[in-house]
Amino acid sequence: MGNDSSSLAARKGLYRPEFEHDACGIGALAHLQGKRSHQMIDDALSVLVNLEHRGGVGLEKNTGDGAGILFQVPHRFFRKEAQKCGHILPAEGDYGVAMLFLPRDDEGVASAVRIFEEGCARCGVPLLFWRDVPVDPHDLGDTARECMPTIKQVFLARPDDVEGGDEFERRLYVCRRTIEKAAASDPALEGRIFYVCSMSARTIVYKGMLVSTQLRRFYCDLDDASTETAVALVHSRYSTNTTPSWERAHPNRYIVHNGEINTLRCNVSWTRAREANLYSPVMGADLANVLPILNGEGSDSSMLDNVLEFITMNGRSLARAVSMILPEPWDNNDNLSDKRRAWDAYQSMLTEGWDGPAAIAFSDGCVTGATIDRNGLRPARYYVTSDDRLILSSEVGVLDVDPASVLIAGSLGPGQMLLVDPSQARVLFDDEIKDAFANEKPYRSWIDAEMLTLDELVGDDAPGAQAPSAPAQTGRRGQAPLSQPDDGLPLHVRQAQHGYFFDDVEEAVIPMARDGKAPLASMGTDSPIACLSERPRSFFDYFNQLFAQVTNPPIDALRESFITSTLLYVGNHGNLLEDARANCRLVRLDTPLLDRAQFQALARIEKHGFKPVALSATYAADDGPHALAEALGVMRARAEEAVRSGADLIVISDRAGKGRVPIPSLLAVASVHNHLLRRGLRTHADIIVETGDAITPHDFAALVGYSASGIYPYLAHDTIAALCERGVIALGSVEAQRNYNRAVVAGIVSVMSKMGIST
Q: What distances in angstroms separate CA 274 from CA 277, 301, 310, 611, 676, one per listed residue?
A: 6, 20, 13, 20, 11
User: What pLDDT, on a 0 to 100 scale, did the predictor assign at position 74?
Assistant: 99
Domain at 278, CATH number: 3.60.20.10
Tell me which residue of 434, 432, 430 sits closest to 443, measured CA to CA.
Answer: 434
409 φ, ψ (degrees, to nearest 5): -130, 135
Res 590 pLDDT > 70: yes
Q: 107 in a domain, yes or no?
A: yes
User: What pLDDT, on a 0 to 100 scale, did the predictor assign at position 23?
Assistant: 56
SS3 127: strand
Q: 529 in a domain, yes or no?
A: no
Q: Are 371 and 298 found together in one domain?
A: yes
Contacts by residues 294-297 (CB-CB < 8 Å, ≥ 24 positions apart): 294/268, 295/1, 295/2, 295/180, 296/1, 296/18, 296/268, 297/1, 297/2, 297/4, 297/8, 297/17
> pLDDT category, 262, cuts 50, 70, 90?
confident
Residue 270 lies in domain:
17-446
Please identify which of the residues 24, 197, 366, 724 carries the catalytic annotation: 24
User: What pLDDT, on a 0 to 100 scale, did the predictor assign at position 536?
Assistant: 85
Q: Give residues with Cβ within 8 angstroms of 706, minimum separation 6.
A: 666, 669, 670, 673
CA–CA–CA angle 289, 294, 297 (5° rounding): 120
pLDDT, one tens digit per residue, over 609-666 is 999 999 999 999 999 899 999 999 999 999 999 999 999 999 999 999 889 999 999 9
Strand locations in 136-283, DSSP E? 150-157, 195-200, 203-208, 231-236, 255-259
> pLDDT category, 511, cuts 50, 70, 90?
very high
> pLDDT category, 468, cuts 50, 70, 90?
very low
Average confidence (pLDDT) over 395-402: 93
Q: Are 361 and 476 found together in one domain?
A: no
d(CA 191, CA 3): 7
- Provide the 10 A C-beta neighbour count for residue 311: 22
Q: Is there a catalytic annotation at residue 24?
A: yes
Tell me which residue of 306, 314, 194, 200 sits closest to 255, measured CA to CA.
Answer: 306
User: What pLDDT, on a 0 to 100 scale, did the predictor assign at position 56?
Assistant: 66
d(CA 269, CA 715): 31
Q: 453 in a domain, yes or no?
A: no
Res 156 pLDDT > 90: yes
Average confidence (pLDDT) over 718-742: 96
Q: 352 in a domain, yes or no?
A: yes
Domain at 623, CATH number: 3.20.20.70
Q: Are 152 and 60 found together in one domain?
A: yes
Q: Are 425 and 495 found together in one domain?
A: no
Average confidence (pLDDT) over 309-331: 96
Lowest mean pLDDT among 18-27, 415-424, 539-548: 18-27
Higher pLDDT, 260 or 720: 720
d(CA 521, CA 508): 11
Q: 541 in a domain, yes or no?
A: no
User: What pLDDT, on a 0 to 100 scale, did the predictor assign at position 21?
Assistant: 43
Alpha helical stretches, state H, 51-193: 75-84, 106-123, 142-146, 166-185
User: What pLDDT, on a 0 to 100 scale, did the predictor assign at position 158?
Assistant: 98
Give whichever of 261-275, 480-494, 558-572 has the largest mean pLDDT: 261-275
DSSP 207: E
Percent above pLDDT 70 for the chain: 90
User: What pLDDT, on a 0 to 100 scale, did the predictor assign at position 68?
Assistant: 97
Q: Are 440 and 476 found together in one domain?
A: no
Q: Are 498 and 374 found together in one domain?
A: no
User: What pLDDT, on a 0 to 100 scale, did the predictor assign at position 461?
Assistant: 59
Q: Give residues with Cβ within 8 angstroms of 90, minimum separation 6.
A: 157, 158
Q: 688 in a domain, yes or no?
A: yes
Lowest mean pLDDT among 76-80, 455-459, 594-598: 455-459
Domain boundary among 388, 412, 446: 446
Domain boundary among 446, 477, 499: 446
pLDDT, one tens digit per residue, over 651-681 is 999 999 889 999 999 999 999 999 999 999 9
d(CA 615, CA 603): 11
Q: Are 96 and 156 found together in one domain?
A: yes
pLDDT, one tens digit per residue, over 19-57 is 444 458 999 999 999 999 999 999 999 999 999 887 666
Q: Are 478 and 430 found together in one domain?
A: no
Q: 537 in a domain, yes or no?
A: no
User: What pLDDT, on a 0 to 100 scale, did the predictor assign at position 239?
Assistant: 65
Higher pLDDT, 756 or 176: 176
Q: 300 in a domain, yes or no?
A: yes
> pLDDT category, 530, cuts 50, 70, 90?
confident
For the chain, what is the domain count?
2
Percent above pLDDT 90 for the chain: 76
User: What pLDDT, on a 0 to 100 scale, did the predictor assign at position 3?
Assistant: 44
Q: Are 156 and 129 found together in one domain?
A: yes
Q: Are 418 and 473 found together in one domain?
A: no
User: What pLDDT, on a 0 to 100 scale, did the predictor assign at position 751?
Assistant: 84
Q: Are 165 and 90 found together in one domain?
A: yes
Q: Are 71 and 116 found together in one domain?
A: yes
pLDDT, one tens digit per residue, over 337-360 is 999 999 999 999 999 999 988 999
The whole-chain average pLDDT of the chain stands at 90
Q: Are 586 and 573 in contact (CB under 8 A)?
A: yes
> pLDDT category, 464, cuts 50, 70, 90?
very low
User: What pLDDT, on a 0 to 100 scale, did the predictor assign at position 533?
Assistant: 81
Q: At 129, which helix (H) or strand (E)?
A: strand 127-132
